[in-house]
Amino acid sequence: MAMTREDFAEVLRRIALLLELKGENPFKIRAYRNAAETVETFSGDIVAMARENRLEGIKGIGEAIAGKLHELAATGRMEFWEKLRVDFPDSIFELFEITGLGPKKIKALHDAFGVDSVARLKEVCASGVAAALPGFGEKSVAKIVEGIAYRESHAGVWRLGDVAAMAAEILEMLRAHPATSRAEAAGSFRRGKETVRDLDFVVATKHPGEIVEYFATAPWVAEVLARGETKCSIRLEEGIQCDLRAVSNASYPFALNYFTGSKEHNVALRARALKRGYSLNEYGLTPLEGDGGAVPEVFEEGDLYRALGLDAIDPALRENTGEIEAAGEGELPVLVELANLRGTFHNHTTASDGRDSLEAMAEAARDLGLQYLGIADHSKSSFQANGLDEDRLRAQIAEIRRLNGTYEDGFRIFAGSEVDILRDGSLDFDDALLGELDYVVASVHNAFQLPEEEMTERILQAVEHPRVTMLGHLTGRLLLQREAYAVNIERVIEACARTGTWIELNANPWRLDLDWRWWKLARDRGVKCVINPDAHRRADLQFLHFGVLQARKGWLRREDVVNCLSLETMRERLAAKHSGRTL
């Protein structure tokens, strides 16, 4: 297959990792990392440009790396990379996926014991030799062992954000086939689950054999796992499994409904059908013996729900958490949509650890049709993220005010800060400076291991602070990488309801925090949600899509999500929250 920008980025990242193991100059390593980022986010066809040797002058790709990328694009090989990698098996890259194990430790383990795979790492941890290495000790080895166990327990699980583009591509390809009359992605992906085990597709067709053949021989198939007349399972080159069902047009709504799940939703729906005298399965709805009544016509999924006396239930809600009862009583929520959002608040720029400038971020938000964008760069204690000190933040506020004067269409940047909640619950800036901001996002970025009681008190103190507008990524989880820290979420929700503090639904697909399972409760207690992309570059504003999906899974309506408010109302709301200031 032809080279893609992802292939480029992967090679550059792996070079950086191996250079790190070799103890190379940090600037050189940084150059490869930057180039990988640039390649991934560049707006033109970077692969074609590399092939034609036209990379010169692109910011983030130096001359030497440009030459190497040209070689890779033109010949499919990069001599530097091939030479570098001969000393290391590919399994060494697994080590970088383990929490608690950084490049320095990997290098030490590799140099001392030749550790070059997770299997070998387990051995040296178990035998006790790792703990004896300088800079290690029992405690850090215990952390590594925990990291290995976590990774193993999540093997075969994928983040929604990492598979969404693949799913869309496969669906598009299925729909393009002339024998396809209808096609949809099903399963946990369609339900918008934050992680999925595989991708499921359902196709309506008169020629299932042709669709199965087409699916099994697509260019991205690495392996055909199982193949029948009407179904097929494959593994993609990226590693994820995909299941296909090809059904008749008449069975399609039933098959789509069944394979969308969840299993629990299916079971409850089938019970409902039985009560009404039908048996329901993935092929259709049939009257129970002896009943012999007419079967309502079902052309699409909505008809199926209506046939059972229910309003149509959005896939996001199908987790059997009360949606069937609500649908029976006409009480399903009208769920928030991406198009309802008018702005968003938690975003970074090059001032801290973002990749795009303030102006560029604002332009991107305007392009998306948003009326306002909040900038909340890190505060000074987050030094690893280049957090802003008082002077730099004041300069940024001034720059935001200046830019606001230049927008003739009324677009507005709100000046905020993602302020660290320090270990003792105090905030990283004093009240005077916080008072100069339009809003404050308060987040925990360190001391994750505090006991639950202490962590909860720490966060509650921020909630009680009159200048805190919203809590950022409340639990700190990183999906498939780091568990949420211990915190009593219910108590935080109650405090937020009482103080009018908003809770963020962080839409970054690594976080999706606060988890959708909490939102119905939060909403019922009167807490407002704010969907934020936590964007570190322009393209990350697209994360809002994932945030909206999670909000839908949490039963949230337009009126529950504050950033659906128009600019005018939002200005009033913020001013009222932090009284005495004009924005």
Region 64-123 residues binding Zn ion, contact defined as CB under 5 A: none
- Piece of 253-261, 287-295, 380-388, 452-460 that binds ligand DGT (CB under 6 A): 253-261
Give the residue at shortest CB distance from Ca ion: 187
Among 35, 97, 94, smallest CA distance to 64 is for 35
- Piece of 166-174, 192-200, 449-457, 508-516 that binds ligand DGT (CB under 6 A): 192-200
Count of residues interacting with Zn ion (CB under 5 A):
1
* Residue 382, phi then psi, degrees to nearest 5: -85, 65
- Give the shortest CB-464-to-Zn ion separation in angstroms: 20
- Give the shortest CB-197-to-Ca ion separation in angstroms: 6
- Piece of 101-109, 167-175, 287-295, 441-449 that binds Zn ion (CB under 5 A): 441-449
Pairing mode of beta strands 231-236, 241-247: antiparallel
- Piece of 73-81, 199-207, 272-280, 465-473 that binds Ca ion (CB under 5 A): 199-207
- Piece of 91-99, 258-266, 287-295, 380-388 that binds ligand DGT (CB under 6 A): 258-266
Distance separating alpha carbons of residues 451 and 449, to the nearest angstrom: 6
Complete edge-to-edge strand list for the sheet that includes strand 180-186: 180-186, 198-205, 241-247, 231-236, 221-227
Distance separating alpha carbons of residues 131 and 136, to the nearest angstrom: 5
Distance separating alpha carbons of residues 381 and 419, to the nearest angstrom: 9
Region 160-189 residues binding ligand DGT, contact defined as CB under 6 A: 187-188
- H/E segment holding residue 261: none
- By CB under 6 A, name the one of 263, 275, 401, 498 that touches ligand DGT: 263
Pairs from 180-189 (Cβ < 8 Å, separation ≥ 24) = 180/204, 180/205, 180/211, 181/205, 181/206, 181/249, 182/249, 182/252, 184/256, 186/256, 186/259, 186/260, 186/261, 187/243, 187/259, 187/260, 187/261, 188/261, 188/262, 189/160, 189/163, 189/164
- By CB under 6 A, name the one of 74, 222, 267, 271 that touches ligand DGT: 267
- By CB under 6 A, name the one of 8, 32, 136, 258 that touches ligand DGT: 258
Inter-residue contact 522 to 503 (CB < 8 Å): yes
Q: For Zn ion, which is the closer residue by CB, 19 or 470?
A: 470
- Give the shortest CB-258-to-Ca ion separation in angstroms: 11
Distance separating alpha carbons of residues 281 and 278, to the nearest angstrom: 10
Q: E strands, 431-507, where?
A: 441-443, 470-471, 502-506
Position 197 contacts ligand DGT (CB under 6 A): yes
Q: Which residues pair with 532 in a beta bridge?
A: 506
Position 198 contacts Ca ion (CB under 5 A): yes
119 binds, among Ca ion, Zn ion, ligand DGT, none (CB under 5 to 8 A by kind): none
- By CB under 5 A, name the one of 187, 253, 343, 533 that touches Ca ion: 187
- Give the shortest CB-142-to-ligand DGT separation in angstroms: 31
Query: Tokens in use for 346?
Result: 């938690």
Query: Tokens in use for 335?
Result: 């769920």
Distance separating alpha carbons of residues 461 and 116, to the nearest angstrom: 45
- By CB under 6 A, name the one of 147, 161, 192, 261 that touches ligand DGT: 261
- Give the shortest CB-170-to-ligand DGT separation in angstroms: 15
Position 382 contacts Zn ion (CB under 5 A): no
Distance separating alpha carbons of residues 548 and 262, to the nearest angstrom: 20
Type of residue found at 65:
I
Among 341, 330, 340, 323, smallest CA distance to 555 is for 323
Position 192 contacts ligand DGT (CB under 6 A): no
Q: For Zn ion, which is the closer residue by CB, 20 or 504?
A: 504
Q: For Zn ion, which is the closer residue by CB, 456 or 475?
A: 475
C-alpha torsion sign, points 487, 387, 98, 114: negative
Q: For Ca ion, which is the closer residue by CB, 227 or 573?
A: 227
Region 483-522 residues binding ligand DGT, contact defined as CB under 6 A: none
- By CB under 5 A, name the one of 188, 205, 349, 443 that touches Zn ion: 443
261 binds, among ligand DGT, Ca ion, Zn ion, none (CB under 5 to 8 A by kind): ligand DGT
Region 241-260 residues binding Ca ion, contact defined as CB under 5 A: 243
Position 200 contacts Ca ion (CB under 5 A): yes
- By CB under 6 A, name the one of 38, 251, 266, 456 that touches ligand DGT: 266
Among 257, 251, 261, smallest CA distance to 204 is for 251
443 binds, among Ca ion, Zn ion, ligand DGT, none (CB under 5 to 8 A by kind): Zn ion
DSSP 543: G
- Give the shortest CB-198-to-Ca ion separation in angstroms: 4
Query: Tokens in use for 429?
Result: 């800036």
- Piece of 116-124, 261-269, 331-339, 374-382 that binds ligand DGT (CB under 6 A): 261-269
Residues making contact with ligand DGT (CB under 6 A): 187-188, 193, 196-198, 200, 258-259, 261-263, 266-267
State the residues that interact with Zn ion by CB under 5 A.
443
Interacting residues toward Ca ion by CB under 5 A:
187-188, 198, 200, 243
